[in-house]
Structures are given as structure tokens and as C-alpha cells.
Chains A and B, each alone.
Chain A
Amino acid sequence: MPPVTWYLYVSAALFALGLFGIMTRRNAIAMLMSIELMLNAANINLVAFSGYLRGHTLVGQIFALFVIAIAAAESAVGLAIIINVYRTVKHIDADDINLMKW
């Protein structure tokens, strides 16, 4: 069984990729996808720690399942908002969606 740090490297890389995506992409759907990446990075962490630190409990795994479910709900809401934004302003460029500032 590979040491836990390997999983953590993968997880960190994944999280960093997601973070980079959030920061750089202007497309709202791409940002949503980047958030999914970050959530899955966290899931990897949870599952890895669950397996290594407390070998016989499934807390981490179940927590990961919850996160997946919530991520699904979150992207459903997020996509619904994006569709509505698209219908209103005919694009989904996050930088130009600033009607509610101030």
C-alpha cells in the first residue's frame, strides 16, 4: 500500500489545478468545473486519511459520499443560475456579470 503522502500529493495537485482554474477562467461553467476538482481533491484527502489513520472505520468514505452528493446539488443550483444569467445577458462571462455590485 503506497504511503499516504502520495495520495496527498495527488490531492494537493488536484486542488491547485482547481484553484488555478477558478482564478484564471472567465467562463462560469469552467469555474464550476474547477470547483468540482477542488471538492474531489478534498474527497481524496478524506478517503486517504480514513484508510490510513483509522483503518476499520468508514467515516471518511461516508463523508466523501456526502460531499459528492452536496457537490451534485451545488452544481445543479449553479448551472440553473448560469442558465438564467445566460438568458438575461446572453453570455456567461463572470467578469462582465457585475450588475449587483454597489
Chain B
Amino acid sequence: MIQLAWLIPVIPLAAFAAIIFFGPKLKSNAAYVAIAAIVSSFLISAGIGYEWFFVHHAQAAANFYADWIPTGTSVLRIGFGVDSLTIMMLFVVTIVSMMVQIFSIGYMHGDPRYPRFFAYLSLFTAAMLSLIIANTILLMYISWELVGLTSYLLIGFWFEKPEAMRAAKKAFLVTRVGDVGFFLGLLLLYLNTGTVELAGIFKQVELLKIPQVHIPALGFVASIILGIMAYGLAGAVLKGTKRLPVAIFAGLAIFGAAFMLIPHGPVQMSLAAVASLLLFWGAVGKSAQFPLHVWLPDAMQGPTPVSALIHAATMVAAGVYLVARMYPLFHVDMTALNVVAVVGAFTAVFAATMGIVMNDIKQVLAYSTISQLGYMMMGLGVGGYTAGLFHLMTHAYFKANLFLGSGSVIHGTGTQDMRQMGGLYKKMPYTFWTFVIATAALAGLPGFAGFFSKDEILLAAYHWHGGKMVFYAGVAGAFLTAFYMTRLLAMTFFGEPKDKEIHAHESSKVMVIPLMVLASLSILAGYVGLPWNNIFSHYISFGHGEHEFSWAVVAMGTGAGLFGIAFASLIWIWPVFRFASLKPALGWVQTLLANKYYMDDIYDIVIIRPLMISTRAMFAFDRWVIDYVIVNGTGWITLQLSTLWAIFDRYVVDGIVNLVGELTKRGGYALRYVQTGIVQQYALILVVCVVLIGWYFVLLR
């Protein structure tokens, strides 16, 4: 059975091809084709999982290869492999994809491009599944790009909306920035190990350990980047006439300060660390980590099932999966893992704060996703390999549930703005209860899935060798998560309906049943990783065992969550604290958060505008210098010279030709009178000539 794993991505791919080619004929049956494909993939995954755990007892990862591209000295191979991590991811992706596609039958009902939606979902699923079963980094990269492509297609699915179109472009370009890092890392690994197979690379990781990469002027580059960022931030925040000089001054000042403070001199790094960091840069793009997180909130312009499948449960987790998959490489040199931990922890808190102020239900969930992905990265970075992946799994279920629930809400109310919702718990009971379960799981309430995985991450962070900062960031993240999720629940489901125009209704069965399945998984998925009976870590672990279970950590994590819920309840459900009274003191915080820390504006000022200016300058250069002066000038000169040559040709060359012809003609006219037709005359001339010649020879010689 295991050798049939290649079928898992191929079946949805076939469904994609079938729907793309026969979509207009299939009409609403397209959904059934796609769902049949994903169900088959799920069944094969289940069969493989059974065989892996009960026949092979999860021993010795199975790898299959085929020759693909013969190069000069070796052959690039393509292949797929199965191990416990693969099985776990297969279950996550197939189950979530299945639920999302069933949900989409209801959600996308009546859409003019209904078949195409399912075609794209199938293509995405195929790419994601092939990313999971790939055991060569090249195939991983290809699938990685394919999921990026389908993400682009699905974000821009309603491309009539200009925002959706822009969001799709933004998502594609920003993740592309990360993908370049992945590709460079891939090339670096291939150049130094001579293979793209993961097993082959991991066999040689010890060789990559030597610090042999010299990176000059890292401090200088960092200072420049900081200076530019400061310039951008000042430019984004400030208004008025002094904006530009102040921004330039701020940029220069920060640059100077950084230049003084950051130690200079070349940095020595091991190849493993450089390659890991490059791969992590790819993960930063795909998993929307700081500073490349800006695309994910905008990606919410896509249909909500897409947000659930791609931008919450699976594709954005691909970055985490990549780090986990390459963990033997990351683990050789701790530099990269430390970066992963710090970036993850920072993102977890950073994104969660923005989630607090958003009014669009999907935006809140988007920032929550970024934050939770940061959590997973943090877990992996602090050495909690199992914890990070465990959280990936539980998060996939409850976040898919939350997104589908929000989809149900949007479907029922026709708006995404939470300020227009309220009181939905009566009108949409199923959606409400499943939403509450998923929220509890996300907030980490005891007994729900997120509780177990979050505490494992916090436990790993607590024991990290690099200090306690990351742990506290995790606790803060837990608090913030509970806080904004309670706010979301309160604004959406509790209280009285704020907009009388909206007549909410519960969604159809086809949408509610996936919610129920995912809600039950949001509870049950946690029980594979109980601290005292951890089946999950038995199969998916790296290196030495788990940390000692600690009640203090659990208390802090859960306490933060409960406190967050209580605090938010006192603001939005039972308004003890009036938000309005806080406004004068915290107004600037809200401005900062609502503007997303000005990240979009900074990118606008620092990257997009200079890019546009230089592009326009190059366009003008092209237009005036290349096109006008060089190309048209050459043309004009050629034209003038040709005119000159034409005159020369006509009068001199042709003249000579005509002259020869004319001379011949005249000569012919002149000579034809000699031909009289009188034979005697010819004979007489002959005789006279002979006589003359004879006379000449006889007498004159």
C-alpha cells in the first residue's frame, strides 16, 4: 500500500484536469468530482497510515525514487517517502480539504465560476499533498510554488473586485520574496551535497557543520536596513510639510546609531546555518512570519473556504512543515533554530496585538493565524519539534473550523463587519456552538485540543537554553489570543443584533456538518498528545525525549488564557470597563494597531514607491533614450543615407549600365549599313584586304 502513496496527490490532480476541461459540462457536479477525488486520497492515506503504524510499526521511513533529470555526472531523482510526519500531515490536509470542499458546496452555491473553484481547490490539494509526500527538496520546491500559484488563483477568485485582485498579487509577490530564499537554500544544499534527496542531504549534514561561510559587513547591511526602515516608519507616521526632512533625519540617525552599536567585522557561519536560514526565509514568506506577514490579512479577500483551507490550515503551515522536515539540517547548528524561535515568538505577539483591533471577522482570524504560526515556529525553534507539529495539527482543525464558521456567519448575514453583527447565537445555533468549541481550543481552555499543544510549546519554550523571553512572549500570546477571540465571539454572537437590516439565518446542512466534524476534531485531536500518554510524540519526535511535565507552565499558559477571556468579557460582554473611557489613554495604541504597525506603509514608502519611481525612470529611459534616440535615430540616419545611395544608384550605377547599352545600340545601328546583302561587295572587300595585307607583307617588310 505504501508504494501507492504517489496516488494521493495524483487523484486530486486528475480531478483538477477533469473539472478544468469538462467544467461547463459538469456544472454543479464538479463539486462531486473534486470531493470524490479527495475522499479517495483520504482513504488511501488512511490505508497507508494503517500499514505504516500497524504493519511497519513506524520503523524505517519508506522512500521510493525514480530517475528524473540526468545531469552531467549524476541523475536528479524524484521520489516520495512515507514516515509518521507525512502520515500526520496527510491526515490533516485530506480531512481539512474534504471538509472545506463539502462546505463549499453550500458556500459557493450559485457562483458563476463554481466548477473552476473546485478545480482550483483540487489543484491546491494535489500540490499540497505532493509537498507532503515529496522526499526530494526539488519536488518540495516545485509543490511549494504550485501551492503559491493556487493561493494566488484562489485569493483572486473574485477578480472582479479590485481589492481581491490586488490582494492576490500582493500575496503572490510577497511569498515570492520568501521563495527566492528557499530556492537559494536549495541550490546551496545541492551544490554542497550533490544531491536533492532529503535522506542524502541529512547523511551529509555533519560535513556542513564547519563554519566556512564568511559574511562580510553584516553589521553594515543591518544598519542600512534599520535606517531605511526608520525612514519608512517616520514617513508613514508623520503628516505635513516637514515629513520628508524628518524622515530622512530619522533614517540617518537610526542608521548612525545602529552603525555604532552593532559589532562589525565578518561573521563566520556554517553552511548548515546559512542553508537553514535561507530555507527559513522561504518559510517566513509562506507562513506569513514577520516581516513578510503582510500578505495574509489581505488574502482574506478570497472566498472564505479558501481562507480556511489555504490561509489557515494547510498552505501557511507549509512553512512550519518545511522547517520540521529539514529539522536535521536546522539542528546541526543552533543559529538558525534560535532565529526561528525569536522570529516565531515575536510574530506570535506582534500579530496577536493587531488581531485585537480589527473589525472584519476574517481579518481577526487572519492575524490569529499569523500569531499561531508564530507559535508553531517558536515551538520548533526552541527545540520542541513534537510540540510545534502537534500545534500545527490541532491548529489546522480548529482554525479551519473557525474560518468555516466565519464563512457560515458571512453566508448567513451577508457582511464581514463584526460591528454589524451581534446576537447571532440564537439565529445560528450550530455555527455558534461549533465556533465556541473552536474558540476554546484556540484559547487553550483545558480539555480542548489547543490546550495540550499550546502547553507543550510553552513547556519547550520554558526549557529553552536562550533565556525566558520567548516563554513570556508565548504566555503573552496566549493571553492576547484568548482576548481577541472573546472579543470576536462577543461582537459576533452575543448581545443584540446591531444592524436591523440583516436577517441572519442558519446555514444549510452541507455547511453545518463539516463544522461539526471539525469541532469534534478540535476537541479530540488533543487527546493523541496527552502529557502522561503522548502517542503523538511517540511517533513524531526528534532527538532526545520530552521535557518534564510542569504544572507551573500549564498554570501560567492556561491562566493567561482565562485571564484574557475574563478581561475581554468585562469589556465586551458585561461592560464593566467602558472602552470609550480608555480611548484618550490608549488612542495612540489603537491607531498604531489599526494601521498594522504601519508595515504596509513602510513597505509602500521603502520598497514600492522607489520601485515605481525607478520603473518609471527606466520606462522613460526606454522610451526616450533607447526607443527615440537610439532606435529611431538609427532608423532616421539609415533612411537619409539610403536616400543618398538611391541618388548615387540611380544616376551613377544605372547611368553606367544605360551608357553601355546605349553605346552598343548606337554601334549596332551604325554598323548595320555595312551589311548590304550584295555578296560581290563582301568578296571585293575581302580581296582588297587580302591584297593590302599581302602588299604590306611583301613590300613593307
**A residues whose Cβ falls under 8 Å from a Cβ of B:** 19, 22-24, 31, 94-95, 97-102
CA gap between A23 and B681 in the complex, in Å = 8
- Asked whether, in the complex, the Cβ of B680 is within 8 Å of the Cβ of A22, the reply is yes
Whether, in the assembled complex, B260 has its beta carbon less than 8 Å from a beta carbon of chain A, the answer is no
Shortest A74–chain B CB gap in Å is 15
Tell me if B676 is interfacial: C-beta within 8 Å of chain A.
yes
Q: How far in angstroms is the closest Cβ of chain B from A57?
A: 27
Task: Say whether A102 contacts B680, CB under 8 Å.
Answer: no
Residues of B within 8 A of A23 (CB): 680, 683-684, 687
The 10 closest A-B pairs by CB, nearest first: A98-B677, A101-B677, A94-B679, A101-B675, A102-B672, A22-B683, A23-B680, A101-B676, A95-B678, A23-B684
Contact indicator B678/A98 (Cβ below 8 Å): yes
Task: List 10 A-B pairs, Cβ < 8 Å.
Answer: A23-B684, A24-B680, A31-B679, A94-B680, A95-B678, A98-B678, A100-B677, A101-B675, A101-B677, A102-B673
Residues in A with CB closer than 8 Å to B676 are 98, 101
Contacts of A24 in B (CB 8 A): 680
When chains A and B are docked, how far (Å) is the Cα of A31 from the Cα of B679? 10
Given contacts A23-B683, A98-B676, 18 further A-B contacts (CB under 8 A): A19-B687, A22-B680, A22-B683, A23-B687, A24-B680, A31-B679, A94-B678, A94-B679, A95-B678, A95-B680, A97-B677, A98-B677, A98-B678, A99-B677, A101-B676, A101-B677, A102-B672, A102-B675
Expressed in whole angstroms, the Cα–Cα distance for A97 and B675 within the complex equals: 13
Separation of A97 and B672 alpha carbons in the complex (Å): 17
Write the chain B residue with the least CB distance to A100. Answer: B677
B27 to chain A, nearest CB (A): 92
CA distance A101 to B672 in the complex (A): 8
Determine the distance from Cα of A97 to Cα of B679 in the docked complex, in whole angstroms.
Answer: 9
Chain B residues contacting A100 (CB-CB under 8 Å) are 677
C-alpha gap A37/B672 in the complex (Å): 32
In angstroms, how far is the closest chain B Cβ from the Cβ of A8? 15
A24 vs B679: C-alpha distance in the bound complex, in angstroms? 11
Q: Which residue of A lies closest to B669 (CB)?
A: A102
- Provide the bound-state CA to CA distance between A99 and B677, in Å: 8
- CB-CB contacts below 8 Å: B637-688 with A: 672-673, 675-680, 683-684, 687
Chain B residues with a Cβ under 8 A of chain A: 672-673, 675-680, 683-684, 687
Residues of A within 8 A of B684 (CB): 23
Chain A nearest CB from B506 CB (Å) reads 115
Query: Which partner residue on chain B sits nearest A95 by CB separation?
Result: B678
A residues less than 8 Å from B675 (CB atoms): 101-102
Within the complex, the shortest CB–CB distance from B553 to chain A, in Å, comes to 127
Separation in Å of the B669 CB from the closest CB of chain A? 10
How far is it, in angstroms, between the C-alpha of A87 and the C-alpha of B680 when the chains are bound? Answer: 22
Q: How far is the CA of A94 from the CA of B680 in the complex (A)?
A: 8
A38–B678 Cα distance when bound, in Å, is 20
Distance to closest chain B CB from A100 (angstroms) = 7
- What CA separation (Å) do A65 and B676 show in the bound complex? 35
Most buried by A among B676, B679, B684, B687: B679
Q: Which residues of chain B have C-beta atoms less than 8 A from A31's C-beta? A: 679
Closest chain-A Cβ to B700's Cβ sits at a distance in Å of 22
Q: Give B677 Cβ to nearest chain A Cβ, in Å.
A: 3
A99 to B675, CA, bound (A): 11
Instruction: Report B693 CB to chain A, min CB distance, Å.
Output: 16
Shortest distance in angstroms between B698's beta carbon and chain A's nearest beta carbon? 14
Which residue of A has the minimal Cβ distance to B672? A102
Query: Which residues of the other chain, B, contact A94 by a CB distance below 8 angstroms?
Result: 678-680
Residue of B nearest to A25 (CB): B680
Identity of the chain A residue whose Cβ is nearest the Cβ of B676 in the assembled complex: A101
What CA separation (Å) do A101 and B681 show in the bound complex? 13
Cα distance A19–B686 when bound, in Å?
Answer: 11
For B672, the chain A residues whose CB sits under 8 A away are: 102
Find chain B residues with CB under 8 A from A102 CB.
Answer: 672-673, 675
**Most A C-beta atoms less than 10 A away, residue of B675, B676, B680:** B680
Separation in Å of the A28 CB from the closest CB of chain B?
8
Give the shortest distance, in Å, between A37 (CB) and chain B (any CB). Answer: 14
Contacts of B677 in A (CB 8 A): 97-101
Residue of A nearest to B684 (CB): A23
Q: How far is the CA of A102 from the CA of B687 in the complex (A)?
A: 23
Expressed in whole angstroms, the Cα–Cα distance for A19 and B678 within the complex equals 16
By a CB distance below 8 angstroms, the chain B residues around A99 are 677
- Nearest-neighbour CB distance to chain B for A30, whole angstroms, equals 12
**Distance of A99 Cα from B672 Cα, bound (Å):** 14
Min Cβ gap A94→B in Å is 5
Chain A nearest Cβ from B530, distance in angstroms = 126
Query: Which B residues are CB-close (under 8 A) to A22?
Result: 680, 683
A10 to B360, CA, bound (A): 140
